[in-house]
Amino acid sequence: MTLTREYAQQLDKEDDLQSFRDEFYVQEDVVYLDGNSLGLLSKRAEKSLLSILESWKKYGIDGWTSGEYPWFYLSETLGSKMAPLVGAKPNEVIVSGSTTVNMHQLVSTFYQPEGKKTKILADELNFPSDIYVLQSQLKLKGYDPSEHLIRVKSLDGNTLCEDDIIEQMTDEVALIVLPSVLYRSGQILNMKRLTEEAHKRNILIGFDLCHSIGSIPHALDEWDVDFAFWCTYKHLNGGPGSVAALYVNEKHFGKTPGLAGWFSSHKEKQFDMEHTLTPALDAGAYQIGTPHILSVAPLIGSLEIFEEAGIEKIRKKSLQLTQFMIDLIKQELNEYGFTFGNPLEDEKRGGHIFLEHQEAARICKALKDAGVIPDFRAPNGIRLAPVALYNTFEEVWRTVQILKDIMKNEQYKKYENKREVVA
């Protein structure tokens, strides 16, 4: 079957989520395929941000306990709204801090070396900041990262073999931290299997959900994951630098957080101003400082959309969009030297396509000038993320035609083949 524009338009007509596109500020002359780096602004997120500003204007300091969304409880309120997206109980999720700060918090809490169990297991494809955190935490505990941080090797530079990860779960490993979805290739790791294997060996395990939250369903409680953390500005559309979130399995409630702060306190004790911390009895204990209210506000509106759309429907459409893009690329771009760096199987493919080409940086610049917003990853990667809530099948078709024109007419040769400061 030849994949045509008319076929793409028919798929759009049959799309259960098509109405949600109108919720977002979409530029009709631009195909935005970088939602796995920064999601688009929704009208509801804008409204909730303005609503929080209004509460500041109206209530002043009483905004902490007054208004539709009292600030003092906002992190917990939004944590409970986010919990269904990760398959958790409401009190196991807290919206707080940044991804890196939350990771520092969790690793400082759960990495407790003892005897010969002193090592942390990660992987060589993880996002750099995660590795920086693990190196830092090892040094703080007096260990040399070059000896105590194990990074599982990739056989192809894009994906990880789960058997190789399990093989490295030795009796010297105290903690495992892995991505749920690899940020370059979009590979989904089998979190259920990896958690089971870790627990068989008495090892705690946590996951970085930055590239999976809002894109694929999770079942953290069912899988018995120990902890997880994630940002909210990619698929969750919380805005640049929006407040991050974390999950702690309820079986770990009652632990004193590794990095204690005022907002780690039990809510009813916080204003007693005691110099002995009484931690919250749930995930709230892993907060550190005062919530960034204006940076969390857009999530109020954004999470409403996810609640209405449903993560299962989002995942279904996401798979259809990425499969349509894969099939189109095979149909239209076969002669231009592109290779797929992402898994092709549905159960292993996250929310984006990862194309590799030796001229990738140039091609990304040409795409951008032609009205398609991609994401370049050095040295030769092009990430394309058709997002279920606001991208269309026709946009995917247009993108591939534009890319074909760029390659056929060698338009990319007008550009320098190196990344900008922000790739």
The residue among 282, 236, 239 whose CA lies nearest residue 263 is 282
The residue among 355, 306, 360, 304 whose CA lies nearest residue 326 is 355
Give the whole-angstrom CA distance, residue 359 versus residue 47: 41
How many residues would you count in the chain? Answer: 423
Tell me how many helices (H) and strands (E) the chain has: 13, 13
Q: 3-class SS at 132?
A: helix
Annotated binding-site residue numbers for pyridoxal 5'-phosphate = 99-100, 127-130, 208, 211, 233, 262, 290
Q: 3-class SS at 245?
A: strand
Rg of the chain on CA atoms, in Å: 22
Residue 317: partners with Cβ closer than 8 Å, 6 or more residues away:
15, 16, 17, 388
As beta bridge partners, residue 181 has 188
What are the C-alpha distances in Å from 78 to residues 72, 84, 208, 293, 365? 12, 11, 19, 12, 38
Q: Is 60 exposed, middle or buried (0-12, 13-18, 19+ CB in 10 A)?
A: exposed
Annotated binding-site residue numbers = 99-100, 127-130, 208, 211, 233, 262, 290
Q: 31-32 and 227-230 as β-strands: parallel, antiparallel, unpaired?
A: unpaired
Give the whole-angstrom CA distance, residue 352 versus residue 325: 10
Residue with tokens 């916080």: 270
Q: At what angle do helices 360-369 and 393-408 cross, to 10 degrees?
A: 120
